[in-house]
Amino acid sequence: MPNRKLNVFLCHAKEDKPTIRELYRQLTAEGWMDVWLDEQKLLPGQEWDIEIEKAVEQADVVIVCLSTRSVSKEGYVQKEIRFVLNIADEKPEGTIFVVPLRLDDCQVPRRIRAWQYVDYFPKTNRKWAFQRLLESLKLSAGKLGISVGRIANLPYEPVEDETAKTERERKAREMQESLAAKKAENERIAREKAEAERKAKAERERQARQKADEQRKAIAEAFGKINFKRVFAFGGAALVLFGLYFGGKFIVNNLPSLPAPSYTVTPTLRPPTKTPTLTTTPTPTVTSTPSITPTPKPGVGSTWISPKDGMVMMFVPAGEFSMGSNAGESDGRPIHTVYLDSYWIDKTEVTNAMYAKCVDAGKCNPPSSSKSYTRDSYYRNSEFNDFPVIYVSWNNAKAYCDWRGDGTRLPTEAEWEKAASWDDDKKEKRVYPWGDNSPTADLLNFNGNVGDTTKVGSYPSGASFYGALDMAGNVWEWVADWYNAAYYGSSPSSNPLGPTSGEYRVLRGGSWYDDFSNVRPSVRDGVAPVNANYGIGFRCARPLP
């Protein structure tokens, strides 16, 4: 497989620049194409003729953008078309080299009519036309052995399709309303539970008071039944004996003393006796050793909060797990046993508000776009503070994790997969984070059912064994490793870090637009680290200190 991208040349007239810029942006967002556009590639001082001819010669596919203005006007576009056609004549039969793209209802030049064209108009037809164009580009890439990656299956932002945009926004609102209603219902249930517990506590206290009252009453009744005449009769006799004993003792002790007889003693003189000198052995001073209280060892369910951004991190204990899957693509095989040291991993994807703190600190670049798929205002919009940050490249994701400190970094591919799929109690791998049952709309945001990103943590039922959320759907997530389709065949069995180099970085977890097959934790994808779009986010990890 060649370690490069598909080279695509955009042949167009300058009058069509606005449409071409939009096309360039969408093609570049794929991550597996290197698209040549004059205003992006030509540097000041370079010669147009030389650089354009060089770019056409190196191109794998040339998209000839046709419009009424380009086909009827003399200039560079006509020169480019002639040069493209001369090179096309040298290509092997069946090669997709020239792809005509009509931007309006223009007449296709006679020499280009040999190739099937696609209409990029009217504006409501652009989304479909772009998908058709992608199919041709993927076919060309496949013949050259260039991997396009599953990220290429993402849908594209509608340019002018207001009806479709309105429908997506409606679905997004309905989903948010549904989530809000579910949250309100959960809060109502929690309030009712708290009220029931309060009433139960009050009832227990009332019963305790009643029992105490009954015990006091029983004591009082028992006291009332005592025969005090007998008690006093017995007590009188006892007092007489007491008086005789202690009174007699007092009299004896206080009798007057008789004078003692007087004696005269003559002392016998003896030599003085030497008093021996005693040597005192000092008592050693004992210094008490202060007791040390050990730090409790974290376990499954333990959390740690990052002081920089407030992110809750979940603990994953050391041990072995099964990595990979025999289902799906070959890059997930073979299944192999991997040992990992213990670590912490973010409970959710990094949010817009969290990422903004790093930007404000001057340690991170802002996302390359402030939009999302259906929202013109997303990043820095307080309404979406708790939604996953998007349009962040691998390099910017790494910079963010580094900024958090305390050893925080992007998780390795192995760490991400264990946190997303391993059941530590059963010692077995789950098909999805929550278990083996198929994905449903209450477990994750996927398959375009919402039409855009959702607030992180919106699907608690889809949590992994270790308590991590949104590890399936919502947004793809960057991990630390370079991508290599054959890496599992030679991966180390202890704390693997991935290949030492590569062209693509690994993505995991699928996104809101992916179906059930791409949201499995074992699915791998590789994308250029400079790629940033509305379907990619990330989370961080941290080794146990």
Report pLDDT digits (tens) over 273-330: 444 444 444 444 444 444 444 456 899 999 999 999 999 999 999 999 999 998 878 8
Q: For the whole prediction, is pTM greater than 0.85?
A: no
Locate 323 and state its tokens. 């990595």
Q: Quick one: CA dihedral 451, 390, 541, 324, positive or negative?
A: positive
Average pLDDT over residues 156-182: 61
Cβ(106)–Cβ(67) under 8 Å?
yes
Residue 223 reports pLDDT greater than 70: no
Average pLDDT over residues 52-60: 89
- Report which of residues 243 and 374 the model is more confident about: 374
Q: 537: which residues sit within 8 A by CB, 6+ positions away?
A: 349, 350, 388, 389, 390, 392, 474, 475, 476, 477, 478
pLDDT given for residue 165 in this prediction: 57
Please provide the average confidence, as pLDDT, over all residues in the chain: 82
Q: Cα separation of 108 and 174, whole Å?
A: 45
Q: Quick one: CA dihedral 432, 434, 438, 442, positive or negative?
A: negative
Residue 504 reports pLDDT greater than 50: yes
pLDDT given for residue 511 in this prediction: 93
CA dihedral (46, 47, 50, 51) in degrees, to 10, reads: 40
- Report which of residues 40 and 176 the model is more confident about: 40
Q: Which of 1-5, 352-356, 459-463, 505-509 has the lowest mean pLDDT?
A: 1-5
SS3 letters across 326-392: CCCCHHHCCCEEEEECCEEEECCCCEHHHHHHHHHCCCCCCCCCCCCCCCCCCCCCHHHCCCECCCC
pLDDT given for residue 116 in this prediction: 85
Whole-number CA gyration radius for the chain = 42
SS3 letters across 279-327: CCCCCCCCCCCCCCCCCCCCCCCCEEECCCCCCEEEEECCEEEEECCCC
Nearest Cα residue to 472 out of 503, 505, 525, 514:
514
Q: Which of 150-164, 229-243, 316-330, 424-438 has the highest mean pLDDT?
A: 424-438
Residue 255 reports pLDDT greater than 50: no
DSSP-assigned letter for residue 525: E
Confidence of residue 506 (pLDDT cuts 50, 70, 90): very high
Q: Quick one: CA dihedral 333, 335, 337, 339, positive or negative?
A: positive
